[in-house]
């Protein structure tokens, strides 16, 4: 069964540094998402992306965050200047897009900011 | 606007006992509803979904959920808990634009 894959599984970065989290969505999916889960808390929506542009974003997704689909397969989340509170699990998801279609999640990247 | 409420952040059941995880939704349109499971250090895995067909939906690992419009509920059940069911469970509702709204999750503990 096709899967969403995320790399790296764990990223350790110094505060203030830029970090890029990478995702390869399921190949025929059209909608892409990033979520964040701080340890012990709920899954929080960050951003959705369709047709090469952001379709929705949450309050969390401020100017420090950006997303890109640089080629036909990768979907990236960039944090420009990381803060301690950015430490979390970041999940990528994709869906075929039609109403009622489930989102398929990757196993996440654990981001640790020192 | 869509939202879900999961009652009970922690549920403990004995092995072999009934599992009942509660989810109530709020939606201004006919909802699409989902249950996901998250095992430690893993992503969210789809258990089952309701998309306006049968109100009783069967999922993987013996789980099922019943959509009750009159109660705006979509509770998850399993007749007999197994140790491997210990995980975090998330209910979600999506809008026609496929924007997902997750509940705060319920941590299921299975006692041997």
Binning pLDDT at 50, 70 and 90, where does residue A70 land? confident
- Please give the mean pLDDT across all residues of chain B: 91
Binning pLDDT at 50, 70 and 90, where does residue B74 land? very high
Cβ burial of A94 (10 Å; 0-12, 13-18, 19+) is buried
Q: How far is CA A87 from CA A11, A19, A81, A114, in A?
A: 10, 11, 12, 9
Alpha carbon B3 to its chain's center: 14
Judged by CB atoms closer than 8 Å, whether chains meet at A31 and B36 is answered as no
Chain A nearest C-alpha distance from B104 (Å)? 5
**C-alpha to C-alpha distance for B72 and B91, rounded to whole angstroms:** 13
Cβ distance A94 to A4 under 8 Å?
A: yes
CA nearest neighbour of B4 among B95, B112, B85 = B95
For the cut 90, the answer to whether the pLDDT of residue A47 exceeds it is yes
Mean pLDDT of B10-27: 96
Judged by CB atoms closer than 8 Å, whether chains meet at B97 and A4 is answered as no
Q: What is the pLDDT of residue B42?
A: 83
Judged by CB atoms closer than 8 Å, whether chains meet at A105 and B51 is answered as no
For the cut 90, the answer to whether the pLDDT of residue A6 exceeds it is yes
For chain B, say whether A108 makes contact (Cβ under 8 Å): yes
Q: What is the pLDDT of residue B54?
A: 83
**C-alpha to C-alpha distance for B112 and B108, rounded to whole angstroms:** 13
Mean pLDDT of A74-93: 96
Q: Which chain B residues touch A100 with a CB distance below 8 Å? A: 32, 49, 51-52, 94, 98
Q: Which two tokens stand for residue A24?
A: 């390869």
Binning pLDDT at 50, 70 and 90, where does residue A62 land? very high
Q: Which chain B residues touch A104 with a CB distance below 8 Å? A: 46
């Amino acid at each position: 069964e096709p899967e969403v894959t995320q790399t790296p599984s764990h990223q350790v970065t110094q505060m203030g540094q830029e970090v890029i989290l990478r995702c390869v969505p399921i190949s025929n999916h059209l909608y892409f998402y990033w979520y964040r889960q701080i340890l012990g808390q709920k899954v929080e929506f960050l951003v959705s992306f369709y047709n090469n542009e952001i379709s929705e974003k949450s309050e969390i997704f401020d100017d420090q965050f950006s997303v890109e689909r640089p080629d036909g397969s990768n979907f990236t989340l960039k944090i420009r200047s990381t803060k301690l509170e950015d430490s979390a699990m970041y999940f990528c998801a994709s869906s075929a897009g039609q109403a009622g279609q489930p989102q398929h999640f990757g196993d996440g990247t654990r981001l640790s900011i020192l | 606007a869509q939202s879900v409420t999961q009652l009970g952040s922690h549920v403990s059941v004995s092995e072999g006992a009934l599992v009942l995880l509660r989810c109530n939704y709020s939606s201004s349109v006919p909802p699409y509803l989902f249950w996901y499971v998250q095992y430690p250090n893993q992503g969210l895995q789809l258990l089952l979904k309701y998309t306006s067909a049968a109100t009783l939906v069967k999922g993987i690992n013996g789980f099922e959920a019943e959509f009750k419009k009159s109660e705006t509920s979509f509770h998850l059940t399993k007749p007999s808990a197994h140790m491997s069911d210990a995980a975090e469970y998330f209910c979600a509702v999506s809008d026609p634009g496929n924007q997902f709204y997750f509940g705060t999750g319920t941590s299921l503990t299975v006692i041997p």
